[in-house]
Amino acid sequence: MTKREREKDVLAKVFDKKQTVKASPEAKEKSLRAFQDGLEDNRSTHKKRNRFKKRVMGLSSTVAVAGIVTVLAFSTGIFGGHNDMNIQENGSNQGPQSIHAVTDKQTGDTSNVKEKIWNRHPLEFEDWAAFQPMGIFNDDLEIYLPKDWTVDEIEDEDTYSTHITGTDGEQMNLVLFQKDDPEVFNTHLHELTANFAETEQISIPVDELVDELKSNDLVPFNYNNVFPFEIENAEMTAFVDEANGKFMELYTSELFGYQMIFTSELSLKDEESWNLPIHLFVTMRIHQSLIWPGSEGGPHPEFNRPIAKTVLLPIGAVARPDKVEMELYENEELNMTSYLPKGTEIQQNEHELFTEWHFTNPSISKYSFYSFGKLKDGFPLEDAKEIMFEAFGIDPAFSPPEIAGDKFPHYSYSSANAGEVSGSSIDGFFEFFEANGEWYFKHKHADSKDYNGGYLIARLNYFIDSIEWY
């Protein structure tokens, strides 16, 4: 079975569990209005379990209160075959709401719609040549889009909005909310879903879709749950507008701590494009680092920098995000501040020609470390490699010139270069840089005895990038 055939089988399994109904335009409009209004009502009448649910209830919960349930009820068997029931839901501070179910006369054959959704094709490695990386969200995030697609971004005090336009009129919108404001969220939700009324709505069971995609290994995954957004709180809904030839989707969740609304509007005829929203999220990367919203502590009274914060760091070749609690670090001798992970052990070592600050994270590795230092006056830069290798006990055979090809200011090493291919191995690098008229270095040393990953280099890079001199 080919990958495309397996994708068809995956989606068939998922969506075959959900029947769709074809409602009249009036019923669709009523359902959309109830869906939008119900989401807003739920904010003020229901106690939420966590920060995300305090801001936005999942669409499935909204459905139960608001009326889009009229579309889903037949698929879940809520109505048990009765067509004229009224659904009532009592909020804690409101009276009952009556929502009429869609009758048999309003339903139609949607097998064609389901078949098109089942046939969404995965993007394979050979397809990537047609894609380009694009920075969004102040370049903190990186997404992959077809070539010649364009990105427009608008930032204000409430939101960060990314509008993506394809060469054939395709549209995608990603809105991240910079603060907890239900009114702002509801306003954007109404605007983004205003043209969804004349559509057939299909609820996508996110957890089942994720499980199927993971089990079939259709695409490379950077995230444990396939998507970067929170799965527990996620809602994914497809909308098929046959009259206008459009296939649309709506996702709501929390993306890297930010409340999120995502919509897409693609051609109903171009089924190859239907996987682009999934591809966008599956391949989304954190570029260098991303501060977790709301995690920054109060400012230091002297340096006016947060005393503590939580950041996401990209780890390894696939840039899998690692959530790290950081603390403000001051180096009085160098008149600088930066950030180190909470619990980092720091040791200052004086060498003949340089001073080193040695950082270890026992929870990551006992033998691996990273360090930062300042070169003393008279340090001969032309002999930098030999001096550093000798000071740190690195075998020159680990970095033969004909293999490493290094030159100032960067020198790397690996025990594999010396023919050590079994058992534990070590690798690392030294890199020199100039700041404020002085020379400094950064160093990473990884020992596979108890460490294998990109955690140290990510922490080292964040430390260097966060330096402020005073």
Query: DSSP secondary structure string, 22-75?
Result: ---HHHHHHHHHHHHHHHHHHHHHS--SSHHHHH---HHHHHHHHSTHHHHHHH
Cα–Cα–Cα angle for 223, 125, 147, nearest 5°?
95
Q: What is the pLDDT of residue 292?
A: 97
What percentage of the chain has pLDDT greater than the value 70?
A: 71
Q: Which residues fall within 8 angstroms of residue 390, CB to CB, at 6 or more apart?
A: none
**DSSP secondary-structure letter at 123?**
P
User: 316 lies in a domain?
Assistant: no
Q: What is the pLDDT of residues 299-318, one digit of tens each?
A: 999 999 999 999 999 998 88
Strand partners, 160: 155, 176
Q: What is the pLDDT of residue 219?
A: 60
Q: Are residues 341 and 265 in the same domain?
A: no
Q: What is the pLDDT of residue 114?
A: 60
Q: What is the pLDDT of residue 73?
A: 25
Q: Which H or E run includes 279? A: helix 276-282
Q: Which residues fall within 8 angstroms of residue 276, CB to CB, at 6 or more apart?
A: 123, 146, 170, 172, 264, 266
Q: Are residues 138 and 72 in the same domain?
A: yes
Q: Are residues 381 and 249 in the same domain?
A: no
Q: Are residues 259 and 400 in the same domain?
A: no
Q: Are residues 280 and 373 in the same domain?
A: no
Could you count the other beta carbons within 10 Å of the beta carbon of residue 217? 10
Residue 451 maps to which CATH number?
2.60.120
Q: Which amino acid is at 298?
A: G
Q: Are residues 142 and 7 in the same domain?
A: yes
The gap between the terminal CA atoms of the chain, to the nearest Å, is 63
User: 74 lies in a domain?
Assistant: yes
Q: Which amino acid is at 303?
A: F
Does residue 435 carry a pLDDT above 60?
Answer: yes
- 416: containing domain: 328-469
Angstrom distances, CA of residue 230 to CA of 14, 236, 405: 19, 12, 43
Does residue 69 carry a pLDDT above 70?
Answer: no
User: 455 lies in a domain?
Assistant: yes
Q: What is the pLDDT of residues 357-407, one digit of tens each?
A: 999 998 899 999 999 999 999 999 999 999 999 999 999 999 998 776 788
Q: Are residues 250 and 345 in the same domain?
A: no
pLDDT class of 197 with cuts at 50, 70, 90: confident
User: 127 lies in a domain?
Assistant: yes
Task: State the average pLDDT over residues 206-223.
Answer: 77
Does residue 3 carry a pLDDT above 60?
Answer: no
Does residue 447 carry a pLDDT above 80?
Answer: yes
Does residue 77 carry a pLDDT above 70?
Answer: no
**What is this structure's pTM?**
0.77
Q: 69-76 and 25-45 helices cross at what angle (nearest 10)?
A: 100
Q: Are residues 351 and 405 in the same domain?
A: yes
Q: What is the pLDDT of residues 277-307, one digit of tens each?
A: 988 998 899 999 999 999 999 999 999 999 9
Last residue of a domain, one of 236, 262, 286: 286
Q: Are residues 136 and 30 in the same domain?
A: yes
Domain count, the chain: 2
Q: Which amino acid is at 91?
A: G
- Please give the residue that has the higher pLDDT: either 373 or 129: 373
Q: What is the pLDDT of residue 419?
A: 79
Q: What is the pLDDT of residues 236-267, one digit of tens each?
A: 999 989 899 999 999 999 999 999 999 999 99
How much is the mean pLDDT over the chain?
79
When mean pLDDT is compared over 91-100, 112-121, 217-226, the highest value belongs to 217-226
**Alpha carbon distance 352, 412 (integer Å):** 22
Write down the residue that tokens 């009326």 correspond to: 67
Q: What is the pLDDT of residue 201?
A: 87
SS3 351: coil
What percentage of the chain has pLDDT greater than the value 90?
A: 56
Does residue 35 carry a pLDDT above 80?
Answer: no
Q: Are residues 24 and 107 in the same domain?
A: yes
User: 315 lies in a domain?
Assistant: no
Q: Are residues 281 and 347 in the same domain?
A: no
